[in-house]
Amino acid sequence: MEFLQSIDWMQLLRCFVVGGIICIIGQILIDKTKLTPARILVIFVTLGAILGGLGIYKYLIDFAGCGATVPLTGFGANLAKGAIEAVQENGLLGAFIGGVKASAGGIAAAVFFGYLASLISKPKMKKQ
């Protein structure tokens, strides 16, 4: 198949390793600290936004592709990148438009699929 030939296997390996390492950092936070998952997610998103704002995170994205964009740090970096790009276009207004605009697809998908999936499933019964 033509598509399979177009896959860059080295890129895929870098993606696997970097994505895995970011998850290890999260796992160490879970095991070694008393942070709740919600706090860890918040830390990752905020950290990603800061690294994205400083322009550091894009080097990781260049290197690892989805290994950097799929973890929640990538979500944060995308918010920051969107805000900065919109500021260059619209000035201060962009600070309020850009972030959400850049991640609108993800947010809308999460809300829509989240609601849909909740509707089709039953609350699980606790086994005694």
Partner 1 sequence: MNPIETQQQYSDYVDKKSPNSPILKNCFNAFWVGGLICSIGQIIFDFCKYKELDVTASNTVVSIVLIGIAAFLTGLNIFNKIGKFAGAGSLIPITGFANSIVSPAIEYKSEGYVMGVGGKMFTVAGPVLVFGISASVIIGIIATLFS
Residues 6+ apart with CB under 8 A from 99: 79, 80, 82, 83, 86
The answer to whether 26 and 43 are in contact (CB under 8 A) is: no
Q: Which of 20, 33, 56, 59 binds partner 1 (CB under 8 A)?
A: 20
Least distance (Å) between residue 51 CB and partner 1: 11
84 binds partner 1 (CB under 8 A): yes
Interface residue with partner 1, options 33, 56, 59, 100 (CB under 8 A): 100
Rounded least distance, CB 90 to partner 1, Å: 10
For 93, the token pair is: 């207004």
Count residues contacting partner 1 (CB under 8 A)? 85
Q: Which secondary structure element, helix H or strand E, spans residue 56, and what is its range?
A: none
Residue 95 within binding range of partner 1, rule CB under 8 A: yes
Q: Take residue 109 and report the two structure tokens written for it.
A: 């998908």
Q: Are 68 and 74 in contact (CB under 8 A)?
A: yes
Measured from the CB atom, is 21 or 59 closer to partner 1? Answer: 21
Q: Any contact of residue 59 with partner 1 (CB under 8 A)?
A: no
